[in-house]
């Protein structure tokens, strides 16, 4: 029986072809550093919601801190709005209003209490207090 041909396209990443192992899992090799992950990807993985670039800018400009409990409550509020058939909602978490596209699970903008006074929310079909 002939020796099978080496096809690099069929070899999983981190495993070398014929010869001594030289990949990340090879004996004697240093462990690979975890790849850098963008903060927005971490937010999506942790919260289930995404933040638009506009929302991230508003959070930074207005000094709104979004911690893990806030993200959990925001995600729960978005899930509740989705359960009622909402498309666009204002989700109130403590002193912050998040305008969310429920279908896309994307935060469009965020407004803190100080800036909420003169703010009018348009094109929303529901409000959730989370």
Mean pLDDT of the chain: 80
Residue 26, CA distances (Å) to 6, 8, 17, 31 in order = 19, 18, 12, 9
Give the length of the chain.
Answer: 130
pLDDT of res. 80: 96
Q: Is residue 66 part of a domain?
A: yes
- Which DSSP symbol is given to 9? G
Q: Is residue 59 part of a domain?
A: yes
Spatial strand order of the sheet with 50-51 comes to 50-51, 106-112, 96-101, 88-93, 126-129
pLDDT of res. 41: 58
Q: Is residue 92 part of a domain?
A: yes
Count: domains in the chain = 1
Compare 120 and 17 and report the one with higher pLDDT: 120
Print the domain residue range for 105: 49-129
Q: Is residue 116 part of a domain?
A: yes
Q: Is residue 1 part of a domain?
A: no
Flag the least confident range among 41-45, 56-60, 90-94. 41-45
pLDDT of res. 3: 66
In tens, the pLDDT along 3-43 reads 666 566 666 666 665 555 555 555 555 556 556 656 555 55
Q: Is residue 75 part of a domain?
A: yes
Q: Is residue 26 part of a domain?
A: no
pTM, 2 dp: 0.64
pLDDT of res. 71: 93
**Residue 99 is inside which H or E element, if any?**
strand 96-101
Q: Is residue 120 part of a domain?
A: yes
Q: Which of 49, 28, 45 is nearest to 106 (CA)?
A: 49
In tens, the pLDDT along 91-101 reads 999 999 999 99
Q: What is the CATH number of the domain that holds 60?
A: 3.30.2310
pLDDT of res. 119: 80
Q: Which of 126, 45, 122 is nearest to 82 (CA)?
A: 126
């Amino acid at each position: 029986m002939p020796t099978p041909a080496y096809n690099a396209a069929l070899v999983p990443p981190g495993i070398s072809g014929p010869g001594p192992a030289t990949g990340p899992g090879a004996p004697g090799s240093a462990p690979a550093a975890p790849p850098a992950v963008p903060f927005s990807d971490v937010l999506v993985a942790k919260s289930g919601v995404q933040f638009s670039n506009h929302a991230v800018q508003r959070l930074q400009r207005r000094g709104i801190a979004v911690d893990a409990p806030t993200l959990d409550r925001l995600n729960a509020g978005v899930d509740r709005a989705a359960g009622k058939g909402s498309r666009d909602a204002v989700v109130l978490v403590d002193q912050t209003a998040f305008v969310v596209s429920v279908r896309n699970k994307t935060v469009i903008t965020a407004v803190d209490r100080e800036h909420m006074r003169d703010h009018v929310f348009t094109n929303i079909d529901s409000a959730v207090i989370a």
